[in-house]
Amino acid sequence: MVLSVPDSKTADQAIKKVTELSEEVVKSLGFELVDIHFGQHGRQKAIEITIYNPGGSVGLSDCEKVSRELDTRIEAIADGLDFFHGPFLLDVASPGIDRVLKNAREYKIFIGRRVEIKTKTNVGADPFGQHFVAKLDGFSEEFISLSELGPIQSAPTKSKNSKKHAANKNAAPPVKELKVPLKQVIQIRLYPDLQKKFKEISSKDIDADLELDGEPDELSCEADAKANAQLNTKKQKNKVEVERD
């Protein structure tokens, strides 16, 4: 979870202390700490934190709340951490709607979420083959447990081959539960339900709200696909950055 910078006892101690503090602060505010990276941003030290809300999405106000509290707590102990003398950049963000899950910690955090799975070979997910969506039900050292398997959503096509493939999928019996060996998994990522997102967009008529003159205060960190496209933001996340002197 931690990407350390320079290799020294002092740096390692500071990184461990700030990691523990971040976990404490994030949890106290009702979120999960997904990831924390330490690095360099120009001449400044940088701390990048990713948070997750098990009860819903992560909004910009949530990122700001965590950032303010954590900045205050780090400032209180900074004098005892030589590594953090001088200015540093604190960045708090959401995981994003299609985050690639990288390790056991993240698999456990996102149990219950819909995920997109790519496997090396067919793992019994017929009729969906080696690329499909499912709900992540559980995780062990050797397997991931999945349920509610389904196909990847794709744009309609008039191709005869595509229609034949779709007919074969419909004819095959549904796969409801599956255990997949981790050694067969190429990638697991959060799966954005774009059809649901677009329905929400249509019902809320957000076009007027997207004509922003200033900061996008009301946008979620986990912004929907249409908002992302119109605002030309990064797909995966909006950020809150605090630069300390």
Environment class of 79 (CB within 10 Å of its CB; exposed 0-12, middle 13-18, buried 19+): exposed
125 alpha-carbon distance from chain centroid: 25
The contacts of residue 163 (CB under 8 Å, 6+ apart) are 157
**Cα→Cα distances 181→12, 79, 142, 184, Å:** 35, 47, 6, 6
Return the pLDDT at 214: 42
| Complete domains list, the chain, with CATH | 9-96+239-244 (3.30.300.70), 104-190 (2.30.30.100)
Q: How far apart are CA 55 and CA 165, in angstroms?
A: 37
Return the pLDDT at 112: 94
Return the pLDDT at 69: 95
Return the pLDDT at 45: 81
Return the pLDDT at 192: 87
Sheet holding 239-244, edge to edge: 32-41, 44-52, 88-93, 239-244
Return the pLDDT at 24: 95
Q: How far apart are CA 83 and CA 172, in angstroms?
A: 59
Q: How many helices (H) does the chain have, and how many strands (E)?
A: 6, 9
Return the pLDDT at 43: 78
- Regions of the chain with pLDDT less than 70: 1-10, 79, 82-86, 154-174, 193-245
Its sign, for the CA torsion 158, 163, 165, 170, is positive
Return the pLDDT at 85: 64
